[in-house]
A and B are shown apart, each in its own frame.
Chain A
Amino acid sequence: MSAQTAFGAARRGGLFADEAKRLGFLMSLPAQLLLLFIVVFPLLMQIYVSLTYWGPLDGESWIYAYKSLNPLDNYGELFIDGRFWASIARTLFIVVVSVPIEFLLGLGLATLFVDQFPGRRIFYSILLMPMMIVPAVAGYMFFMLFQSNGPINDLVSRLTGLDMDFVWLSDPNLAIVAVMIADIWQWTPLMFLILLAGMMGVPEDQLRAATLLGANSWQRFWRIVLPKMKMVIIIAVVIRVVECFKIFDLLAVMTKGGPGVETETLSYYIYKLTFADLEWAYVAALGLFVLIALSLIAWAALWRLQKAQARAETQPGR
């Protein structure tokens, strides 16, 4: 191929010749194969196993799971499984309380860091540290802090003069609070980081123009900064909601789902079913149910987002 035709091919549609297509195919192949390996095949296997009573102690390969075929039993059971729904409610409770607190704290911190001041860089680095700590290790930090004779009770006692001796991690009401405090400690920095980046991206000339027109800082924040940050806020909140819904490491270390089942989240309940009860077929059905529910939510959210974007495009300038 002469340089001249190569150039022509490149000009017509980016780097778009046949050779390019072939190379592109080869380059994307490893990723596609990995997805096939980890998504398509396991999904089929999960559907199959979920329709049976198969368990790892059956002594037979999963291939023979059809011998205990019971098409809908597992799915019927999950609807009347109180522990499952309680674990979902608990997980949602953690998400609904922690994520908004993380958001507000992150937003507040971001407003403090939006312009330059001495020490900004070093403070910023320190404030980001919690999210870089291994979650299981962070869980252990809070396990130590929340001991009844530990530093948190000690600190509060000294500050208030009262004698605090909460048994945080074994108290049915306080255990979940302790877990949420740990989650907020670890992940507020993520909100802070993302929201600050979004806030720094708000065009300065618009803020200056608003100031000239007599807007005070409160009005600038509500009328310009927040609306401009809409996408960033959505991204930050979605990421945190998705991750918080999976919460496992922190509470696996801090409370192990206890006392009783008081801090048993969806992930932890599945973990117990898998390793303590060895009900793998039921777990497969349960997991599939969660998978479908989350896919529907994600699909609906994407669809609404696209509709909102389309509407924004047809009405320019608002």
Chain B
Amino acid sequence: MTGRPIFFVIRYGLILLALVIVLIPILWMGTMAFKPFPEWTTATGDLTWLPKEPTWGNFEYIFTGQTEDLLVTLDRTAERPILASLVTAVLGTAIAVIVGTLGAYAVSRFKVGNNLPLSVLQLRLFPPLAVMIPVMIMWASLGMVDTWWGLALIYGIVTLPFAFWLMKTFFDEVPIEIEEAALVEGCSRIRIFLKVTLPMVKAALASTCLFVFILNWSDYLIALLLTRKDWVTIPVYMNSLASAMGGQMYGCKAALGLIAAIPPVVFGIAIQKYLVRGLTFGALKQ
């Protein structure tokens, strides 16, 4: 606010403190992923902050099931959960964005489906566990428990509100005159949507996809409820690692956590401009 050196020092001091607090947990996991077994805990000596003998052993273990430090072999390796997370998050995103974009355009341009803005919001209001009993019964009776399509479908539904609201605010900002001009040229309305409007919101659409992908990728609870074995996602698999082994698998789980953490952080930074809009359902712009 002012150029006085005291403010300068206070500001950087406080920011530095915040950065340290933010980074410590992330760095602890990041370094843990590269620590060999003896450095995981203090059981064999002092707490090590930085790996003394960095190793790829933890990654090797979760992907191949064995590594020199650990005697027990891992019977279920990480590729499958990573694949499950990718497939279901991508498909769920596709469902949410396609359905949300169509619905948003209908509401924004044709004033049809005016119940949608509030109706989709209620999907976010309630704790998922309070409404999951019938969903679990339905998924079981439709044979969708522990399948990629079952998980993708529910992901598409729970992230629909974000996709819908984001796309609605973007469509609301496109001047209607351009579409009217195209209409005068004799374009059909569906062509206008596909060839005129969508290209104009291309960047916004891409950000919406990434945003929704992050949300789906971050889920733990729904996968916990609706998968059993074949399609467990990374967080569910990660949490089951310890219980199968007895004793904490710090390094291996940290390695897995690092793999799970990277895509959302990279995508999140890439779409920083749209984060505020996405998280406030379009109520705010940045």
A residues at B contact (CB < 8 Å): 3, 6-7, 10-11, 14-16, 19-21, 23-25, 27-28, 30-32, 34-35, 37-39, 41-43, 45-46, 49, 56, 61-62, 108-109, 112, 115, 117, 123, 125-138, 140-142, 144-145, 147, 149-151, 154, 185, 189-190, 193-194, 197-198, 200, 217, 231-232, 235-236, 239, 242, 245-246, 248-249, 252-253, 266-267, 270-271, 274, 280, 283-284, 286-288, 290-291, 294-295, 298
Contact = CB atoms under 8 A, between A and B. Distances in A.
Contact of A46 (B120, B134, B238, B264): B134
B116 A34 contact: no
A117 B47 CA distance: 37
B254 interface: yes
Contact of B110 (A16, A198, A200): A16
Interface of B: 1, 11, 14-15, 18-19, 21-26, 28-29, 32, 41-43, 47, 49, 98-100, 102-103, 105-107, 109-113, 116, 119-120, 122-138, 140-141, 156-157, 160, 164, 176, 179-180, 183-186, 189-190, 214, 217-218, 220-221, 224-225, 234-235, 238-239, 250, 253-254, 257, 260-261, 264-265, 267-269, 272, 275-276, 279-280, 283-286
Given A145-B28, A154-B47, A123 B135 contact: no
A42 B257 contact: no
Contacts of B137: 45, 49, 56, 62, 280
- Please report whether the interface of chain B is mostly helix, strand, loop or mixed according to DSSP: helix
Contact of B276 (A11, A27, A135, A197): A197
A39 B160 CA distance: 13
A145 B25 contact: yes
A27 B102 contact: yes
- Please report whether the interface of chain A is mostly helix, strand, loop or mixed according to DSSP: helix
A217 B28 CA distance: 39
A42 B190 contact: no
B127 A28 contact: no
Contacts of B11: 112, 117
A38 B123 contact: yes
23 contacts: A7-B180, A7-B184, A24-B112, A25-B113, A27-B106, A41-B134, A46-B134, A62-B137, A132-B269, A134-B217, A134-B260, A141-B257, A144-B250, A151-B49, A185-B22, A194-B279, A194-B280, A197-B285, A266-B130, A274-B129, A280-B133, A288-B130, A290-B126
B116 A28 contact: yes
Contacts of B129: 246, 248, 266-267, 270-271, 274, 287
